[in-house]
Amino acid sequence: MFRSRLDPLEMLPVLSSGRHRNPRSGGCFMEFASYLAGERWSDHPRCTHPLLAELARGVNDHTSDGARSRLVELIPSVIGVTTRDVRLDIALALRCAREALPVASAPRQTVMAVSILSAERVLAELDGRRGDDISAESRRALDEVPHAAREAARIIGQVGISVGGFRRHAAPNTVRCAVRAIADACVPDPDERLRGLLVGAIDDCAPWREQPAEHAEQVLASAPVARDVGGVVAAAADEGHRVA
C-alpha cells in the first residue's frame, strides 16, 4: 500500500511482460521509459528509436520473471535515441541477426542469414558498394552456418529490397525473430543472452544519442525497488505528472 503523498520517484518498478493499459495494471520496460521521459504512458514513446524500442519490448517480454529485474538499470539508456538515420536500423538489425544466428534453430538460422544479407545489401547501397560486398563480421557469422548461408544467398538473389522496405518491414521482423530465436534456443543462459543483446544494441546507439537521460539515471541509481509500477506511477499522477 502506497501513501497518497509518496514521492513518485522514490521507488522502482518490478517490470512485467506485455502491454499495460495504465500504470495501475503494471508496467513493462518501455512503458516505464515513457514515464521517466515525461511522456504519456505508452510502450511506444517518442523518446526512443522505434527499432530499439521494439527490441526492448521483446527482451522484456521474453525474459523470465526471475531475471527481468536486471533490465531495470538499462531503462535510462534507451531515452534520447530518436534519430531517423536508417544506418541505425541497419546496425540494430545486424546486431540482432548475428547474435541469434549461432543459437537459432535451423529454420530460424536461414531467416537470420537472410536478415544479415538484406541489411548488408541496404548498407552497401547507401555506401555505393556492390550488394555482395559485406562486412567481415557478417562474413564470419555466415561462415559458421554454411547451409543457412547458401539458402539465404539463394533467397536474396530472387528478391529485391528498398531502404524504405527494410526500415518498415525487414528490420522489425529481424528483431522480433532474433529475440524469439534466442529465447527458444537450447542454451543454458537465454536470459543473459537477451540482456546482452539489449546492452550491445544500446551501445550501438551511442553515435546517435541526442541527449543523456541523466535525471532518469539518477532516479534509478538511488531508488529502492517497489512491489509494482502501478503504485509508483499512480502516485505520480496524483502529483500532477503527465501519465495517461
pLDDT digits (tens, 9 = 90+) for 178-217: 999 999 999 999 999 999 999 999 999 999 987 545 545 5
DSSP string, 35-100: HHTT--S-SS-TTB-HHHHHHHHHHHHHS-TTTGGGGGGGGGGGTTB----HHHHHHHHHHHHHHH
Q: Which residue has the cell 539458402?
A: 151
Please give the biggest Cα pair distance in the chain. 63
Q: How far apart, in whole angstroms, are the C-alpha atoms of residue 93 and residue 51?
A: 8
- Which pLDDT tens digit goes with each residue over 110-128? 999 999 999 999 999 999 9
CB 97 within 8 A of CB 174: yes
Q: If 0-12 CB within 10 Å is exposed, 13-18 middle and 19+ buried, where does residue 136 land?
A: exposed
Cell of 141: 557469422
**Would you say residue 239 has pLDDT above 90?**
no
pLDDT classification of 26: cutoffs 50, 70, 90: low
Q: Which residue has the cell 500500500?
A: 1
Query: Cα torsion for 200, 35, 43, 83, to the nearest 10°?
Result: -50
pTM: 0.81
CB 236 within 8 A of CB 131: no
